[in-house]
Amino acid sequence: MSTLAPTARIVPAAERDLRNRTSLAQTLSHTLTMAYRGLVKIWRTPEQLIDVTVQPIIFTLMFAYIFGGAIAGDVQDYLPQLIPGIVVQTVITTSVVTGTQLREDMDKGVFNRFRSLPIARIAPLSGALLADTVRYAIATTLTFAMGYAMGYHPAGGLGSVVLAGVLVIACSWAISWIFAFFGVVARTASSVQGISMLVLFPLTFLSNAYVPVDTLPTALRVFATINPISHLVSAIRELANSATFGGDAWLSLLGAAVVVAVFAPLTVRAYMRKA
């Protein structure tokens, strides 16, 4: 006598929502677990760190020895201006990886598997954003270390350099919400990278990161003056070179808060619709 195999029960949407309802403490715990997953991925595939290890070294050497003599007279005088600019550009560019990896995980069905687990629905997204702060810290540390090896000794002291690093990491984390939004709504990881670079290149190069703003043509000078990247670069320079937490630093923090206030809800809403 044959028996019928038990069929899987279809879980109603209301019941799934009830299962996914977690407390704040549980959500934080799940986020940390997902962040740990992101760090394990980096540990097992260290080539993911090429953009935060090799790129800062290449950019620092290239820009220092190509533009140093023309802009500042020699390399040593150019380093106090260059290193903060390299730090900002490298870390901000690294935040693009957040969106591309998010899109790749969604394309591979990883997030679909997470949906079947009794975890906070937001944890895979928030965990990925948290894990990427480690990448920002590596890029910041290596860039300052490379500058020090080339003879750059920040007058602000170690404490101010650390504070400058924290500031650029915090602002980059805020900007990563923009690229996370692209990662959720875009169709492919390559499109996320293409859109992100299209946004970043004008912002990073049409700024005060590498050349004095007053040497630019009028239209570009106006753009570079109001460019938020210029304010962040100026804030890092003031902290590293003179231990000053000035107006540019406060503007950078305000801009980061506005970005998070706008893009975090948009990203979470778009993510929840797909998760």
Residue-wise pLDDT tens digits, 8-50 = 444 454 444 544 566 778 888 888 888 888 788 777 777 777 7
- pLDDT at 76 exceeding the cut of 70: yes
For residue 162, pLDDT over 90 is answered with yes
Say what the pTM is. Answer: 0.84
Q: What is the pLDDT of residues 188-235, one digit of tens each?
A: 888 888 888 888 888 888 999 998 898 889 999 999 999 999 999 999
Length of the chain: 275
In angstroms, the CA 119 to CA 30 distance is 6
User: In this predicted structure, what is the pLDDT of residue 5?
Assistant: 46
Exposure string for 194-210, b = 16+ CB within 10 A, e = fewer: ebbeeebeebbebbbbb
pLDDT of residue 275: 60
Q: Average pLDDT for residues 237-247, to the nearest whole number? A: 94
* Predicted pLDDT of residue 8: 41
Q: Using alpha carbons only, what angle is made at residue 33 by residues 128 and 117, rounded to the nearest 5 degrees?
A: 95
Residue 10 is predicted with a pLDDT of 47
Separation of alpha carbons 231 and 218, rounded Å = 18
Q: Which pLDDT belongs to residue 21?
A: 64
Position 19 scores a pLDDT of 47
Supply 236's token pair: 């890092």
Is residue 184 within 8 Å of residue 270, measured between CB atoms?
yes
Please report the pLDDT score of residue 7 as a whole number.
45
Provide the sign of the torsion angle of the four alpha carbons 76, 77, 82, 84, taken in this order.
positive
* Residue-wise pLDDT tens digits, 99-144: 888 888 888 877 777 777 777 778 888 888 888 888 899 889 999 9
Distances (CA, A) of 79 to 75, 86, 129, 133: 6, 10, 31, 25
Residue 259's alpha-carbon distances to 36, 129, 227, 228, in angstroms, are: 25, 14, 14, 11
Contact 203, 223 (CB under 8 A): no
